[in-house]
Each structure stands twice: as C-alpha cells, then as structure tokens.
Amino acid sequence: MTPFKRFFDFISAIVLGTVLLPVMIWVAILIAVRDGRPIFYVAERMRTPTEAFGLIKFRTMRASAGDSAGDSGVSGGHKSDRLTRTGKMLRRTRLDELPQILNVLKGDISLVGPRPPLRQYVERFPRLYAEVLKSRPGITGLATLYFHEHEEYLLSRCDGAEQTDRVYAARCVPRKAHIDLIYQRNRSFCYDWEIMLKTVFKRLR
C-alpha cells in the first residue's frame, strides 16, 4: 500500500466513521434488543499470505456448538437457518460490514481491494493468494461489485459444510482471484473512487 493510499484511507475512515456513527449505534442497539449479545463478531482473515488479523463485523448469526458467534467459515445454505432476523437485513444491505471502518483505521485493510480471505484457502492456494494479496484487502473491490451476488447464489444452494467448501474452492476462489488481479493491474486513485461510488449506488439501489 502506498503512503498516499494509506493517508486517503485513514482520512476517509475518520469522515465515514463520524457520518455513519449514528447508524452503527442504531444497529448495535437493534442487535442487542432483538438478538442479545455479543453484538460484534471478530473473524480471522489474512492481510498477507502470512499475517492474520481480526475482521470486525456486526453479528448476524446465532451461535452453534463450538462456534461462539456462529459466523465462522464460508456461509452456505446450510447456515441459512442460523441467520437472525436482524442478520438477514444486515447482510442484504451489507450494514454488517460497517465496523470494518475500524480495521481501515488500524491499517488492517483498505477501503478498496480484494476481500480478505480465510486462512484455510490462503494455505490451500498459496501461489494464487501470493499474487492477490500483493494488494491490501479492502471493504469493497472489483470482485465484490461483479461477483458477490453470484457467489451468494452459488453458496445458497449448498446443503452442508463440505459442499460449501467444495463449491467455494472450485467456483468462487479462482473467479474472484481473476477479478482481483484485474483490479491490481489497473488500480489507481480514480479507479478506487469509481469502485467506491459504484458500491454505494449498488447498495442504495
């Protein structure tokens, strides 16, 4: 990440955090009243092929045995019954990702870049992610814009953890990586702005 991109991310995160603070407070209260605690979920993700960090999200699922927050791993159709009523709304609008502004402030991620991957896929596809993670992961990115909805569709048809893993590894990882590498070859300040604006307008629509 260049010093200018880091500076832009930091200033933008402060501005966005200030503007969106009332929304985040409202979401936190909504989760606390409807679903109880914990309000947040911290998921391990990879910043580089060897460095992990805790990605902060609003909790959207009920806990299961051995999983205190319920959100860990790739979410397929087998997890749909664990989505809370509030969680469904948060995922549909992507408001569950607002706390990631804190990750931007910390320097874990950027505003724009590939979505931070799970450790298990980075270890399974080391050569692929060695290239993808040359870009700092982001809250949104080119693959988020053009593949996220299709990914959700593919995974929603999976009935169990094994099928979800198989479909994600075979049909999502390589396609997302291909799009992320297109971004990497063309990234610029203006391109980041274009992706951010398209993300906002897509969510509003």
**How is the chain split into domains, by residue range?**
3-204
Q: Which pTM was predicted?
A: 0.88
User: Number of helices and strands (H, E) in the chain?
Assistant: 9, 4
82 DSSP assignment? G
Which residue type, as a one-letter code, is found at position 105?
L
DSSP letter string, 29-72: HHHHHHT-S--EEEEEEESSSS-EEEEEEE--B--BTTBSSS--
In tens, the pLDDT along 153-201 reads 999 888 888 999 999 999 999 999 999 999 999 999 999 999 999 988 8
Give the Cα separation of 140 and 198 in Å (integer).
Answer: 10
Tell me: pLDDT of 71 over 60: no
Nearest C-alpha neighbor of 45 from the set 108, 1, 124, 126: 108
